[in-house]
């Protein structure tokens, strides 16, 4: 009853305080007059996560400056120390030895100079020669004009890097110098060192609120920066590029490479967080370091919301870093609330979590990136349950018992090759937009070969659930695999954002099993299809399937029997976070 009571208290207090629905928060949008509402403490509310990173209270957004230094992982992040909505932004700081358990430290960077007095916004860390870290970050002045600033650690012998000192030369990059829009000039990337000995860094920008671009700056000493004549890359009709990222990926194997690596053995990834769409898009291509130009391998990049995405659900403002200790590139991303209402976040006292860090690499065909939760997260697994290969009959639902379903890690593989010819036809003239298809053909819509997958955070009577599933179509002379995350029935009482997510999975069901992994953590579900070729993050708020009342099911709502090739599930222990 305690969980229900908290929910109804939130709803009641919201109705008393009046309406206040707001659009999805961008990284730097301010909300006015919300300081008039007193924030109640709901720190122990059931929607708090157990092993996803979040501060004890208040607002959090973009991950900033992730790095490893003297064997210690560092995560900085955008944080409001005073409230559960965006504002008063500082660089909060936590460290870890395993990317799972985190220790909190005092904020590393706080407003103090004219060029950051109205907020220390997003940026990146670069490891300079000799192993010295440097942070480039965006600051906002009294008029909310944006500048790029530098901070360095005060004591290099301290592996925790507790104290940071700002450069007396700040700001290092100013929009006034280049006649740029001062309200669209932010989020510097990790810098890379060219063969000519000059550092290069990208800054997100837009021109006339239409053309998004990655501005390029060069420097000999990391202090004095000169804007290049041309951006590294730009594209019409994409709006503001927030939190750009640019890094090399090996064309062979899963190992990552340092950000300054060049040569025939790598391709390059350019990623932008599109403010207009609130999604992270990326493309793979080649970088001409002599001309400082990037050329995508595909024409479909960022245009009108199409193209490749890190995550097809709720995931934004991501940042990668090269983990030199394990020769891997690690991706971190922000997952915001789906309440759509700042008043509720204020009453609850906190907002925002970080996704589980992911290892990221180029797939064997060089077409896309693959992501997988870092291996360290498996240390939290306990009480494994499994199931041998078995038939999952048409129209059936089978409970996966023996795990704590509100806090679990599940891996399941399906075999369909012998019945794949019975798949539905992806009709010409019909929608081929995967998200639209998932909305039209949700978990409750019977098909031929699908939907089949998992019902997570489900109530015992299956009236409440989040469905993560596959559906297979005939598409000309090949088959198309659609992966969906349907959260339309994730809560029977709360009317929050319940968008259904979808993407096509680049896999041949005739030759490969369909695999799915779900990390379930109270109010967040991170799903990885096809070994990490498609990722979807859902933020859900069940009202029945909470804590011990949550259940986990495998289901097949198609007309054809399929096979569960393998199934393993674990309860997940609570991580030590801040």
* 135 contacts 124 by C-beta, under 8 angstroms: yes
CA 446 to chain centre: 31
Alpha carbon distance 350, 341 (integer Å): 12
The CA-based dihedral angle spanning residues 549, 554, 560, 566, taken in that order and rounded to the nearest 10 degrees: -170
* 351 contacts 330 by C-beta, under 8 angstroms: no
Is it true that the peptide bond before 445 is cis, omega within 30 degrees of 0? no
The SS3 assignment for 185 reads strand
Residue 87 CA: distances (Å) to CA of 22, 78, 166:
15, 10, 21
Alpha carbon distance 114, 480 (integer Å): 54
Question: In DSSP terms, which residues pair with 132 in a beta bridge?
Answer: 128
Catalytic status, residue 62:
yes
- Using DSSP bridges, classify how beta strands 279-288 and 266-274 pair: parallel, antiparallel or unpaired: antiparallel
Run of H or E including 192? strand 192-193
Other CB atoms within 10 Å distance of the CB of residue 438: 27
Residue 564 CA: distances (Å) to CA of 384, 386, 412, 463:
17, 11, 7, 24
- Using DSSP bridges, classify how beta strands 407-415 and 514-521 pair: parallel, antiparallel or unpaired: antiparallel
Closest CA relative to residue 271, chosen from 283, 279, 285, 287: 283
Alpha carbon distance 184, 282 (integer Å): 20
Question: In DSSP terms, which residues pair with 295 in a beta bridge?
Answer: 286
Other CB atoms within 10 Å distance of the CB of residue 42: 21
* 175 contacts 186 by C-beta, under 8 angstroms: no
DSSP letters, 102-168, are BEEEEEEE-S-STTTTT-EEEEEEEEETTTEEEEEEEEE-TT--EEEEEEEES-TT-TT---EEE-T
Question: In DSSP terms, which residues pair with 250 in a beta bridge?
Answer: 266
Closest CA relative to residue 486, chosen from 540, 534, 412: 540
Give the 3-state secondary structure percentages of the chain, helix then strand then coil, rounded to 5. Answer: 10, 45, 45
Q: Give 102: exposed, middle or buried? Use CB within 10 Å, 0-12, 13-18, 19+.
A: buried
Alpha carbon distance 531, 518 (integer Å): 11
Closest CA relative to residue 256, chosen from 190, 195, 199, 350: 190
The SS3 assignment for 14 reads helix
* 153 contacts 131 by C-beta, under 8 angstroms: no
Alpha carbon distance 374, 40 (integer Å): 35
Alpha carbon distance 470, 90 (integer Å): 41
Residues forming the active site? 62
């Amino acid at each position: 009853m305690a969980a229900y009571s908290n929910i109804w208290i939130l709803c009641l207090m919201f109705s008393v305080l009046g309406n206040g629905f707001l659009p999805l928060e961008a990284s730097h949008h301010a909300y006015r007059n919300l300081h008039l509402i007193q924030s109640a403490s709901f720190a122990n509310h059931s929607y708090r996560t157990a092993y996803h990173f979040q501060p004890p209270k208040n607002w959090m957004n973009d991950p900033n400056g992730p790095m490893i230094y003297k064997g210690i992982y560092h995560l900085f992040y955008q944080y409001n120390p005073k409230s559960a909505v965006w504002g008063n932004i500082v660089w909060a700081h936590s460290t870890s030895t395993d990317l799972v358990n985190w220790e909190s430290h005092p904020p590393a960077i706080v407003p103090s100079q004219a060029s950051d007095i109205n907020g220390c916004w997003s940026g990146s860390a670069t490891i300079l020669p000799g192993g010295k870290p440097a942070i480039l970050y965006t600051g906002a002045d009294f008029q909310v004009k944006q500048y790029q600033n530098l901070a360095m650690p005060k004591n290099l012998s301290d592996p925790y890097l507790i104290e940071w000192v700002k450069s007396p030369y700040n700001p290092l990059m100013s929009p006034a110098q280049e006649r740029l829009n001062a309200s669209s000039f932010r989020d510097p990337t990790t810098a890379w060192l060219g063969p000519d000995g000059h550092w290069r860094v990208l800054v997100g920008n837009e021109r006339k609120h239409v053309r998004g671009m990655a501005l390029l700056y060069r420097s000999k000493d990391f202090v004095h920066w000169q804007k290049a004549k041309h951006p590294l890359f730009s594209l019409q009709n994409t709006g503001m590029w927030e939190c750009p990222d640019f890094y090399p990926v090996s064309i062979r194997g899963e190992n990552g490479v340092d950000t300054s690596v060049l040569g025939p053995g790598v391709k390059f990834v350019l990623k932008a967080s599109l403010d207009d769409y609130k999604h992270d898009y990326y493309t793979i291509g080649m970088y001409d370091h002599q001309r400082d130009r990037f050329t995508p391998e595909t024409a479909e990049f960022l245009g009108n919301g199409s193209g490749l995405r890190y995550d097809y659900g709720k995931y934004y403002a991501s940042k990668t870093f090269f983990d030199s200790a394990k020769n891997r590139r690690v991706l971190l991303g922000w997952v915001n609330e789906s309440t759509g209402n700042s008043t509720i976040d204020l009453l609850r006292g906190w907002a925002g979590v970080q996704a589980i860090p992911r290892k990221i690499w180029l797939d064997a065909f060089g077409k896309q990136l693959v992501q997988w939760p870092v291996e360290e997260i498996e240390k939290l697994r306990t009480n494994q349950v499994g199931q041998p290969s078995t038939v999952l009959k048409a129209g059936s639902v089978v409970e996966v018992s023996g795990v704590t379903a509100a806090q679990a890690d599940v891996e399941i593989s399906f075999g369909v090759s012998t019945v794949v010819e019975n798949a539905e036809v992806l009709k010409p003239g019909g929608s081929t937009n995967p998200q639209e298809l998932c909305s039209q053909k949700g978990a409750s819509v019977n098909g031929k070969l699908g939907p089949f997958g998992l019902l997570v955070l489900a109530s015992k009577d299956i009236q409440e659930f989040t469905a993560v599933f596959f559906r297979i179509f005939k598409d000309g002379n090949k088959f198309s695999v659609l992966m969906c995350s349907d959260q339309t029935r994730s809560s029977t009482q709360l009317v929050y954002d319940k968008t259904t997510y979808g993407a096509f999975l680049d896999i041949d069901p005739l030759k490969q099993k369909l695999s799915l992994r779900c990390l379930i953590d109270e109010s967040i579900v991170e799903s990885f299809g096809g070994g990490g070729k498609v990722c979807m993050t859902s933020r859900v708020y069940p009202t029945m399937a909470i804590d011990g009342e949550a259940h986990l099911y495998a289901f097949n709502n198609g007309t054809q029997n399929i096979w569960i090739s393998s199934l393993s599930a674990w309860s997940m222990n609570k991580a030590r976070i801040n």
